[in-house]
Amino acid sequence: MLKKFVYIFLLSSFLFSCSADNPLNSGRPPVTFTVHIENIANDLFLRTSSGKNEKLLFSPGVWIVYRDAAKNPLFSEGEKASKGLEVLAETGKPESLLAEMKKNPEVLQAGIFEIPIGAGVTTPTNASPGKIFEFSFKARPGTKLTFASMFIHSNDLFFSLPDSGTTLFSAGEEPLKKDISDQIILFDAGSEINQEPGNGYNQPLKQQISDSGETENSIIKELNEVKDGFVYPELEKIIRVTINNNEKRRN
């Protein structure tokens, strides 16, 4: 009976490892990817109705690598944000979202970016103009990447890739190496009523009690679909995202 159980277990493991959507199925060695999320708003400020010029900031965030065939574990446009994503989008704190991702069976790897690289930065903080968040991971074909980071001068807005994520390998198993800034979207988590960017009393830099904004109870949308009457900076002027890898070009 024990031998039969062991045989069934080994057969099940074999079938799982050979399934079409399992990235471990590829005999290709894993590739190390490095991602930079850069605040490029060096000469750009957020001008508020109160007459202040605010430096544009984005928060520490969460990144995940997941199965190509899976639904994006981080979020789906048109659905409600998870509690972890809500916390990130409203406060800029990534820990709850990371904990959620680590429990999701479709997530192969997950981590936090929280300390911008550069001189004088040694503790978690927001990325100010000129600063870069960096993270690295190993992956094989059959995988996608996505991430989330809060736009700090908001109530519940976050930067991310489309909810389809970005594929890390081509059909010919060439690893991604490019600037993907044109894929970045600013999303509204739909969890808190929007206030004027940089001037809202329920935004992280101004609220006296964390997570104290007026509940919206809506769904995740691209910001350009929200029509809240406020003016926001152009994404191509504030954020640059690049993916590099350590593989030498194959002949």
Residue-wise pLDDT for 179-238, tens only, equals 999 999 999 999 999 999 999 999 999 887 766 678 888 999 999 999 999 999 999 999
Phi and psi angles of residue 132, each rounded to the nearest 5 degrees, phi first: -135, 130
E strand or H helix at 7, and its extent? helix 2-17
pTM to 2 decimal places: 0.87
pLDDT in the model for residue 221? 98
pLDDT in the model for residue 240? 98
pLDDT in the model for residue 10? 35
Distance CA 59, CA 151 (A): 7
Alpha carbon of 145 to those of 87, 141, 173: distances in Å?
A: 21, 12, 15
pLDDT in the model for residue 100? 98
CATH class, 27-245 region: mainly beta
Please report, for the chain, the start and end positions of each structural domain, with discontinuous segments joined by +: 27-245
E-strand ranges in the chain read 31-39, 45-47, 53-55, 58-67, 107-113, 132-139, 143-151, 157-160, 166-167, 178-179, 185-188, 221-222, 239-245
Q: Residues of the chain whose pLDDT is less than 50? A: 1-21, 24, 251
pLDDT in the model for residue 216? 87
Distance CA 141, CA 12 (A): 22
